[in-house]
Amino acid sequence: MTISRKAASGLDARPSLPVHGAFVVRLRADSDVTATGLAGRVEHVVTAASTDFGSIDELLAFMAATLRDGRRD
């Protein structure tokens, strides 16, 4: 069996971390990641949709909604 150079290099494979799931998360300087004081801004890399968040729940809700909305396209 012969494997093409492209397949052997992994270029044909689906990425394990697809870009549609990429976010940039910036935490405020006074955020405490071990407590409920997590706050900052999150941006979806593909759509540039962004929001400020004041808790881990708000951060995860934005991410879930953004990914869910993106799957409808």
In the Cβ-directed half-sphere of 70, how many Cα atoms lie within 13 Å? 17
Looking at residues 31-58, what average pLDDT do you find?
91
Look up the pTM and report it. Answer: 0.72
pLDDT at 73 over 50: no
pLDDT at 32 over 70: yes
pLDDT at 16 over 90: no
pLDDT at 13 over 90: no
What residue spans define the domains of the chain?
Answer: 18-70
